[in-house]
């Protein structure tokens, strides 16, 4: 199947694209992939597959191959990129959590699994039972940074880890800007939470603008270096946003707290997190708030109590 698809591509694509493809995926590299794919349970998604991200097909240089670990069906869902500095401040992390808790009810959240804002975005999605995609600048079988191993494993369980680089490809500086075009290309828009002028997040924002997608930036302190990038983006025409509803409004989505809470609680019960105490701890809210929502779900006939826990009907 893969060989047939690649044969068609190599025959019909323009010479420049064929040359670029052969530079990245020489025959030896492709041969090695078979063994690595079996060992890692990773999948190859070609440009022609149904699971190929639809928005990625629209960019000027979409990758012919994607390597994925996890639930690749999330790649077809409506996605929003959330990116920012690796050296995040307390303000940056707090804002990321506040935005992502709401946005993850309506979008798959895409980021790059780097330290700082990226990791915070992924972790927040996982905490509230949403789905997230990490796009890597190395093979999906390599965890980088290595200390993010637990995050990497949780993303694979609840979403997907993706790369255009063959398995076994090690991280290198030049690959991260290339990777950033995929973060922008797969997303309906890009939110930059906190970034200095030299941050790679600005590369993602530039790609997003080049592709005709929306760029959102959270205003920061004008005296702080790590806010210079976001403030500059706003000067250059990015949408300034101070709450998640600013972004939802752009896409005609009204924030319905009840439905969002309902979806999150149902998702947690499915995962075996089924007592009010556990739910409150996971969502970082009071037990009383959780009980109010659970009572509503009981009245709607969605859940029932058994012992001190809840189960779906």
The average pLDDT across 118-129 equals: 97
From 109, 113, 85, select the one nearest 220 (Cα to Cα): 85
What is the length of the chain? Answer: 313
pLDDT at 168 over 50: yes
The average pLDDT across 215-235 equals: 96
CATH topology of domain 257-312: Arc Repressor Mutant, subunit A (1.10.10)
pLDDT at 284 over 90: no
- Burial environment of residue 191 by CB neighbours within 10 A (0 to 12, 13 to 18, 19 or more): buried
Please state, in angstroms and rounded to a whole number, the distance separating the CA atoms of residues 8 and 173. Answer: 32
The average pLDDT across 164-169 equals: 89
What sign does the dihedral 171-177-182-183 (CA atoms) show? positive
What residue segments make up the domains of the chain, in order of their start? Answer: 73-250, 257-312
Entry pTM = 0.76
pLDDT at 18 over 90: no
Tokens representing residue 190 in the block: 């890009």
Q: According to the per-residue pLDDT averaged within each range, which of 22-31, 40-49, 142-151, 292-301 is highest? A: 142-151
* Reported confidence tier of residue 5, pLDDT bands at 50, 70, 90: low
Per-residue pLDDT at 258: 46
What is the average pLDDT score of the chain? 89
pLDDT digits (tens, 9 = 90+) for 190-203: 999 999 999 999 99
> What is the CATH code of the structural domain delimited by 73-250?
3.40.50.450
pLDDT digits (tens, 9 = 90+) for 22-74: 766 666 666 676 666 777 788 989 888 889 999 999 999 899 889 999 999 99
């Amino acid at each position: 199947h893969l060989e047939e698809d690649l044969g068609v591509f190599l025959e019909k694509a323009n010479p420049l694209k064929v040359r670029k493809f052969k530079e990245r995926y020489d025959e030896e590299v492709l041969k090695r992939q078979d063994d690595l794919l079996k060992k890692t349970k990773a999948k190859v998604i070609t440009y022609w597959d149904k699971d190929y991200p639809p928005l990625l097909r629209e960019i000027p240089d979409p990758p012919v191959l994607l390597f994925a670990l996890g639930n690749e069906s999330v790649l077809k869902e409506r996605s929003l990129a959330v990116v920012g500095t690796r050296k995040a401040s307390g303000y940056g992390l707090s804002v990321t959590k506040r935005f992502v808790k709401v946005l993850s009810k309506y979008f798959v959240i895409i980021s790059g699994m780097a330290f700082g804002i990226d990791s915070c975005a992924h972790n927040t999605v996982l905490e509230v039972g949403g789905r997230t995609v990490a796009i890597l600048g190395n093979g999906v079988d390599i965890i980088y940074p290595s200390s993010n191993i637990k995050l990497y494993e949780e993303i694979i369980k609840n979403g997907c880890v993706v790369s255009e680089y063959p398995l076994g490809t090690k991280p290198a500086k030049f690959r991260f800007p290339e990777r950033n075009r995929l973060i922008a290309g797969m997303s309906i828009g890009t939110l930059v939470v906190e970034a200095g002028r030299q941050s790679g997040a600005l590369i993602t924002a530039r790609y997003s603008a080049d592709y005709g997608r929306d760029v959102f930036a959270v205003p920061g302190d004008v005296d702080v270096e790590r806010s210079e990038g976001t403030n500059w983006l706003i000067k250059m025409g990015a949408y300034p946003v101070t709450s998640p509803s600013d972004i939802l409004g752009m896409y005609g989505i009204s924030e319905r707290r009840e439905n969002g809470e309902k979806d999150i609680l149902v998702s947690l019960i499915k995962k075996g997190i089924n007592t009010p105490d556990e739910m409150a701890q996971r969502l970082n809210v009071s037990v009383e708030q959780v009980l109010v929502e659970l009572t509503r779900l009981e009245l709607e006939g969605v859940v029932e109590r058994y012992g001190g826990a809840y189960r779906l009907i």
